[in-house]
Amino acid sequence: MTEQNFSSMRAAMVESQLRTNDVDDQRVIAAMAQVPREDFVPAERRAMTYIDRPIPLGGGRSLNPPLVTGRLLKEAQVEEGDRVLLIGAATGYAAALLSALGAKVTAVEAEDGPQVLGTAATVVRGPMPTGAPEGAPYDLLFIDGAVEEVPAALVQQLADGARVVTGIVERGVTRLCSGRAVSGVLGLASLADLEMVVLPGFSAPERFVF
């Protein structure tokens, strides 16, 4: 597939997947129109680059659909110079977009997770729920996937008033959520039901029911 094909497909993604589904932040649109998503997709799956479905990466991991990435970026309201803690770096696509928006990105990916491509972030290998406390405090927590619960360890690494965007799994449904961490307490609001990649290792602890 030629570079021209990918460029056309990227433009079609912007027009048919993003603009028609509430991704209306012009900075986000410009970044996603510019960053070549195909550079972050395994060679054997590059034909799937711009479809609106998760792309398998192996090892039980997948790359989020473009719409999910666009919605997360819109709600993140990234500002120039933001210190971002990205959880679930996958192949590095979200890190590249956050960097294009002017953020300084620390990207956490599991030891046995996908290869993180590009140079847009400081990559930390280790348990994703642990985060990267050595780079704290962060202005934005960007969880690139859905989790059952946002660990307290991640919230503790955020500056007071920091923004948070993530997916939350509720009764088998994945929901786009955003909120803020204030005085160490995270408040999230549900925005939309979206098909999101579920990140491993974020199961909520079992709670006793009386």
**Model pLDDT for residues 98-130, shown as the tens digit of each residue:** 999 999 999 999 999 999 999 889 999 999 999
On the CB side of 21, CA atoms within 13 Å amount to 19
CA-CA distances (angstroms) from residue 183 to 83, 127, 156, 160, 188?
Answer: 18, 25, 9, 6, 14
Reported as a single tens digit per residue, the pLDDT across 15-56 is 999 999 999 999 999 999 999 999 999 999 999 999 999 999
Helices within the chain (DSSP H only)? 3-13, 26-34, 66-76, 93-100, 152-155
Q: Which residues pair with 147 in a beta bridge?
A: 168
Distant-in-sequence, close-in-space partners of 43: CB < 8 Å, separation ≥ 6: none
- Whether 73 has a pLDDT exceeding 60, the answer reads yes
Calpha distance 30→73 (Å, rounded): 12
- Whether 3 has a pLDDT exceeding 70, the answer reads no
